[in-house]
Structure 1
């Protein structure tokens, strides 16, 4: 997908007329350009701060020359480069098709034959890379483009000769976690075998729709890559055996790229895409037609300032603790009357849509229903105002907490051209499953309770996490332990509970160390029947406190064991385990456990006005996460209003920019973002009293 050029973008680079932006990254901007010969190219332009470094230029010079040495129809060729230019650039032939990551996210896994043919062609591509004396080092679904005449391997941004490592820090991990070989994950020397391992990961993803080592925090991904066996469940037999060989931990046990080509005895038709499913072929055709139909761009001037916002812009939406209040600004009606929507009709008559994707009937239905009702209340209060710039509808999709249904629900919602943003989904797995569909259509996706730190291969072009990620609540926990005079902490990280437990526990371990607490961590294996199995070792260290990251059921087992051992120290429970199941199973053993969570108590004074409005509307008290969902809906409404009063059509991309580029003060917390993540760690303290989690007030998060 392309984005419009900005006024600050140059008109030409190295003989290429720039037409659009293809993407941005940490190192620079990639443009779609048209050469003087008429051919399209992807032109990567390096950021000035890197161009000023002599070492970086040396590396860029080497890598541009290295990429030119590769000769294969399945590797996108370098068509030009200028490492000495003021803004160094490199151009490759443009492939107007989707990445494998997008194709799988939107259309599902490939069939067995399609996966094997993909593997055979990519093995040939890697064989050519290795024959040129290079290692690609970042083979992943996002670097495999699907074209009408076959796949292409792209991006030699970090490819180099195996001996050329001087410009890389010895302990740096280069590549994409989840698609790295164990030797890469450990920062050791890598060779062609690392590319074969990565290809195995890509084929596992193509066949199952998920990376073989899961998703989640980077540290967790690297740990599983080095120590765990890949999850190949669901992969066809004809794919599983080949992939398993590629994913051998020892590089010497993996096949070569040439050997893999020979093993995959398939009819690999050149010049066609008939080996792909029909919906993927249609996606390739649609993307190719859209890209190739781009007109020449108007000239822009490098360094030109962006247009200033309309003078006198006024914000007139305020969502406070007592509900929504609309403050009309003088002259606003004239602005509304002049707006036009995509169809050319007056926007005041247009009914735009805010989506809610949630688990309304599955394992997290209580949180999902609370979030849906929080969003509805905010929108209803907005629509009840007499003077409003637009009317907003709410479209709801129940994904039942199932990743497959979450992907289908996201596709349905994203297909609505009037959908401007979506709040959801409720859980980590469903959020990750839905991300590809929303990202493909640039629908801003705002999570309320999904706190995972990473979502595999999906990009973050449209995702905003409005909740602190797992483990960040360990900061107030650490400060609390410090204030209680705790010196030694026994930490139990229960891997059987899932990704969140590892992510939460690992970051908590680091955070506790930062405040100079002595931490003794123990990891409970997936196969262990109970975390209590490691308790004796933890208590042998004579800790003043025990910190558990895991599930509510297994937390209850641990609580019973601690009570039986007469442990009287502080007990910290990671918030994902804090719920009715823990208190019901633990009984008296739950008393006194401390929890630091990102959600506010619905009865807290800070949200009293909201709670009263919620009771009036629904006849019962709000549940956990309802206030946060109301806040997030209020933020979307506020930014939409800003777009409308600024005279702008509220397009999805523009709305995402407004959401990420400014700060919103809600009832629960302040919302400001960097790279899609919430900044700040506002948390709330709970303590089990008389069988329930009693609210103890806002947590101390330091200065």
Structure 2
């Protein structure tokens, strides 16, 4: 695999609050069906970035149109990181063109002069915003995820499939968390149209007005291809979601090469947070100490949130074996997917009528 190309001498980036698009037309990435599209409308090239969506260690993301966002570097040192992300996203956008609907937030344009990435924007928000919504937390029964059995199983099924597709394309994400999972409304199938799943289509017919949200992965700034360590390794980690081996390497100042097992752990943490409606170690001082133990389910069982992950219930049944202090012994995504399939079938046959089925 060819090395990631080096950027030219870093340029000075003006403050993002007043920064505008470059005036020359943007140069598309290597042409493929998703990027061989017209350049953004001319008025976008001179519009200040004001509609801020969020920010992280290296970048700030702004909304440009209802369907297009721009990711900008926060400082000059972020340029090579965003350049590497653009290369990975270009690869994934091309490799996953058969995924319908797409399971990653696709890149449409990249301006190497400013390291600006123009990406899919999904208006439904993030998994974090869904799971934290105060109106849903009073509706669930004992043993049921705060987002409900249907939504949680749907998320688990689709998130595992999305990460598996990314892995099949030779990429490890490296920073999976509920804030990096965007949401798209599921489209029920009709005579083979739409997203097409028999159980979920039937659920939507039984519950008119109900909306299932499926996950779309974003933020590949910590991603690596083919086991290759980019620069000094992982550029940033989120302590409460990172696999212990990655966290130890990152906090120890050494390189943190990624393996697929690290993403399995983070998928488990993301789905656990979606069940709880909060991060596992939320509000805890010295989170890293507990996170490195690799036993988030045990931690949850020691508190009042234990009702959401009861022994023998749905959440434990799906996530069992996703954790641990090291990647050795963790289950693979294929096994997690099979568990979701089993629990989905049980829920459809036995549990969707209510009661204490999920405990």
SS at match of 1:158: coil
SS of equivalent residue, structure 2 residue 241: coil
Q: Which residue of 1 aligns with 2:8?
A: none
Q: Do the aligned partners of residues 60 and 245 (structure 1) sit closer, same or farther apart at CA in structure 2, a change above 3 Å counting?
A: closer
CA distance in structure 2 between the aligned counterparts of 1:7 and 1:46, rounded to whole angstroms: 12
Structure 1, gaps ≥5 residues long: 1-5, 268-274, 276-703
RCO higher in structure (CA 8 A, sep ≥6): 2
Matched, 1:29 2:34: no
Paired with 2:108 and 2:173, the residues of 1 have a C-alpha distance of 19
- Once residues 71 and 268 of structure 2 are traced to their aligned partners in structure 1, the CA distance between those partners, rounded to angstroms, is 28
1:312-331 alignment runs, 5 A limit: none
Question: Using a 3 Å threshold, how does the CA distance of structure 1 residues 209 and 181 change in structure 2: closer, same or farther?
Answer: same
Aligned ranges for residues 35-184 of structure 1 at < 5 Å?
40-47=67-74, 49-50=76-77, 55-56=80-81, 59-71=84-96, 72=99, 73=101, 75-82=103-110, 84-85=112-113, 87-107=114-134, 108=137, 109-149=146-186, 150-168=214-232, 174-184=236-246
Q: Does residue 19 of structure 2 align to residue 9 of structure 1?
A: yes
Paired residues of 1:99 and 1:143 also in contact (CA < 8 A):
yes
SS at match of 2:262: helix
Q: Structure 1 residues 168 and 68 mapped into 2: Cα distance closer, same or farther (>3 Å)? A: farther
Structure 1 segments, 4+ long, off by >6 Å, are none
Residue 200 of structure 1: aligned partner: 268
CA distance in 2, matches of 1:228, 1:166: 25
User: 1:256 maps to which residue?
Assistant: 332
Instruction: Report the Cα distance in structure 1 between the residues aligned to 2:236 and 2:56, rounded to whole angstroms.
Output: 15
CA contact under 8 A between 2:88 and 2:220: conserved in structure 1? yes
1:213-252 map, 5 Å = 213-217=281-285, 220-227=286-293, 229-230=295-296, 231-232=300-301, 233-236=306-309, 237-252=313-328
Change (3 A) 1:192 1:83: farther
What's the CA shift for 1:134? 0.6
Question: How many Å apart are 1:83 and its aligned residue?
Answer: 5.0
Distance in 1 (alpha carbons) for counterparts of 2:267 and 2:17:
40
Change in CA separation of 1:124 and 1:110 when aligned onto 2, cut-off 3 Å: same
Alpha-carbon shift at residue 246 of structure 1 (Å) = 1.2
Q: Distance in 2 between matches of 1:175 and 1:145?
A: 18
Q: Which has the larger radius of gyration?
A: 1
Q: Deviations over 1:187-243 (max 9, x none)?
A: 1432111111111111111112233344434xx322212226322522251111322
**Residues 7/207 of structure 1: CA separation in 2 closer, same or farther (3 Å cut):** closer
The equivalent residue for 1:386 is none
Cα deviation for residue 63 of structure 1 reads: 2.9
Q: What is the SS of the residue equivalent to 2:160?
A: helix
Is contact 1:64–1:90 with CA below 8 Å preserved after alignment?
Answer: no
The change in CA–CA distance for 1:227 and 1:151 in structure 2 (over 3 A counts) is: closer
Contact 1:79/1:92, CA 8 A, preserved across alignment:
yes
**Equivalents in 2 of 1:212, 1:111: separation in Å?**
18
Shift of 1:98: 2.0
Aligned-pair distance for 1:9? 3.4
3-state SS, counterpart of residue 62 of structure 1: helix
Q: How does 1:287-306 map to 2 (within 5 A)?
A: none
Write the distance in 2 (CA, Å) between the matches of 1:223 and 1:64: 33
Given that 1:100 and 1:144 are in contact with CA atoms closer than 8 Å, whether structure 2 keeps it comes out as yes
- Check whether the contact 1:184–1:190 (CA below 8 A) recurs between aligned residues: yes
Q: 1:465-484, aligned counterparts within 5 Å?
A: none
CA distance in 2, matches of 1:58, 1:98: 25
Residue correspondences, number: 253
- Which piece of structure 1 moves more, 208-217 or 256-265? 208-217
| Range with bigger deviation, 240-249 or 208-217 | 208-217
Q: Which structure has more strand as a fraction of its residues?
A: 1
Q: TM-score w.r.t. structure 1 length? A: 0.33
5+ residue gaps, structure 2: 1-15, 27-38, 138-145, 187-213, 250-255, 346-351, 353-359
**Matched-pair contact (CA < 8 Å) for 1:200–1:243:** yes
Q: Deviations over 1:222-279 (max 9, x none)?
A: 2212226322522251111322321233423222223322221127xxxxxxx9xxxx
The whole-number CA distance in structure 2 between the counterparts of 1:57 and 1:173 is 10
Tell me the TM-score normalised to structure 2 length: 0.62
| Residue matched to 2:356 | none
Cα distance between partner residues in 2 of 1:240 and 1:152: 23
Superposition deviation, residue 179 in structure 1: 0.4
Q: 1:239 and 1:79 mapped to 2: Cα distance?
A: 33
Distance in 2 (alpha carbons) for counterparts of 1:151 and 1:61: 21
What's the secondary structure of 1:203's corresponding residue?
helix
